[in-house]
Amino acid sequence: MRIHADKAKCEGLGMCESMANDYFEVDEDEDLVQVLDDSPPEADRAHVFAAVQACPVLALTLEG
Ligand code: SF4
């Protein structure tokens, strides 16, 4: 499983960070998402998927 963040779509709204701040952080300078760990363990799938789905501009995808 791999997290992909499309920074061209990200608007820095921070929903992903509020749902899973162990995987996502909004960079203060750029105001864009940073993926802290793009290959979460299987045990975190539901947690990460919820954060991916929370993005209002569909900038996040979970592959695999
Ligand atoms: S929820 Fe979406 S728009 Fe907001 S910071 Fe995360 S990736 Fe960017």
Q: What is the pLDDT of residue 46?
A: 97
Q: Give the pLDDT of residue 7.
A: 96
| Neighbour-count burial of 42, counting CB atoms closer than 10 A to its CB (0-12 exposed, 13-18 middle, 19+ buried) | exposed
pLDDT, one tens digit per residue, over 11-61 is 999 999 999 999 999 999 999 999 999 999 999 999 999 999 999 999 999
**Closest Cα to atom 6, ligand 1: which residue?**
16
pLDDT at residue 36 in the model: 98
* Domain total of the chain: 1
CATH number assigned to the domain comprising residue 23: 3.30.70.20
- pLDDT, position 28: 92
CA atoms within 13 A on the CB side of 16: 31
pLDDT at 16: 98
Q: Domain range for residue 55?
A: 2-63
Dist. CA 57 → ligand 1 center (Å): 7
pLDDT at 23: 98
